[in-house]
Every structure is written in structure tokens, then in C-alpha cells.
Amino acid sequence: MLMKVALPQLELHKIDNQFQNIPHAHDDQYQITVPVKGTCYFNYENRDMTLGAGDGLVLNPSDRHYFHTSDDASLIVIRVNHGSGGAGITDPAARQHLEPGAMLSYFQRWAGQMLTVEPADRLAVEETQAMALHDLQQILRGGGTEGKPAKAAADRNVLRVLDYIHARYAEQLDIDTLSAIALQSRYHFIRSFKLATGMTPYQYVLHLRVEEAKAQLRRGSSTVTEISYSMGFSSPSQFYRTFMKFTGVTPEYYRGQS
């Protein structure tokens, strides 16, 4: 059985039971291969190796390889685009042990988040990618601890971002711009923002959009479709899903009760 979940800079693959492919390379992607059960027989640049459960192998872009698996195998393959989050995978050990149960838990969490992200919303996609890529970089570095940003500086930075978001929440925002305003990396910005507000940047944007949509519904002058597009949603169906998630009722029901 094959499973694939993909965002623009990150791909997750899960392979169960017997599988084999042919020699190939990924010109612009790093690849991390981790069996979580069974055995993977791997050929990397004409060198044969056997990977057991937890034997992770990191390939650089353009490394030629192929593999086949045992009948009972379960394999995780992660691909990260070079020049994006992949730039953070700097000189990892080519082969390292990664705890199978932990890797499976990470995979399930990442896949769940990627499957539910709104693909038309750039901020949602970038936020999901940034968090998953940070997790992956920490795993490959051995899970080292990180210092927290100084609270006063973080608070000042978040206030600047909040001003920016409040002026533009109905527009398409992106993580790079917001993290640059905060003078932080993508991951540290998301973490600082959530510590300050209790929400991720994308959740906060949705909160502002729903609050303004509620005000427009109470005024009663615009249709639900008009409101959905004016608030920056990619479609009325996205607006419906988000509105019900935040309020528990449909926009029409909310308008009728106002």
C-alpha cells in the first residue's frame, strides 16, 4: 500500500508490505528514508546496504538510489525541496538511528495536518510546512534544545505583527513577511506568536475574519458569498467550514438569530 501527502516544499510517503522501484534520483530534493518495521534493501550510489527498523538514511539532491522492501515492511519516505526548508538539513549524518515509534507518530501528525490544510490559503500552507520542517530538522540534529526568545523583545515583535495583520487580515498573508516583521525565523515567530495570543498566525487571521463576518451578517446588507470573498476566503465552502468551526452554526443561522 502506498500513501502520499504533499505540500509545495514537503512530501510524505508511506509504503507498506513488499515494494520495489528502479534506479532514480531527485534533482532538487533531500530524501529521508526510515523503515518503521521490517527490512529495506537499499542501493545508494551503487553501494548496497540493509536498513532495519529505525535505520534512517538521508540522501542529498541528485543522489542516485533504488530499494526494495520485505513482505512485512513499513517504510516512511520524506522529501524536502532544496532551497526551502531543505536548506536546514545541513550536513546531517548520512545514516542515523531514528526511533521507529516516534517517527511514526510524527508522520501521522504531519500527514493529518497536511491533509486538512486549506491548499488555496498561502499562510495556512506555509505555517504547516514550517512547523513540520522544524520538527524534522530537530529530529535529524538529535532533538537538541532551543532557547526561548527574550519575552520583552518577543512581545514588541508580536505587537508589530498584530498591527500588520489587523490592517490586512482579509488579504493573502505569508509567513516570510510576518516573520521578517517579527525579526525571527519562521518557526520561532510562530512559536512566539502562539505564546502571546494563544493561536497560531493562521488561526488568528481566521478569528479576525470570522469576527468581521459576524458583524457583516448582523448588518444584513451583503450575501454570504459576498462576505466570504470580502474576508479573503478562497470559496464560500471554506467560509462555511471556518464559520461553523468557530461558532458552531451556519452563517445563515447566525444571521437569523441576530
What average pLDDT does the chain have?
Answer: 91
133-137, 139-143, 211-215: range with lowest mean pLDDT: 139-143
Specify whether 158 is located in the same domain as 60.
no
- Evaluate if residue 145 carries a pLDDT over 50: no
pLDDT at 85: 54
- Report whether 26 contacts 65 (CB < 8 A): no
3-state SS, residue 66: strand
Specify whether 178 is located in the same domain as 251.
no
Residue 95 in domain: yes
Write out the three cell numbers for 63.
543522489
Place of cell 509545495: 8
Render pLDDT for 67-101 as a digit per residue (tens, 0 to 9): 999 999 999 999 999 876 554 565 555 888 999 99
Domain around 245: 203-257
Q: Among 68, 97, 129, which residue terminates a domain?
A: 129
Specify whether 17 is located in the same domain as 84.
yes
Specify whether 73 is located in the same domain as 184.
no
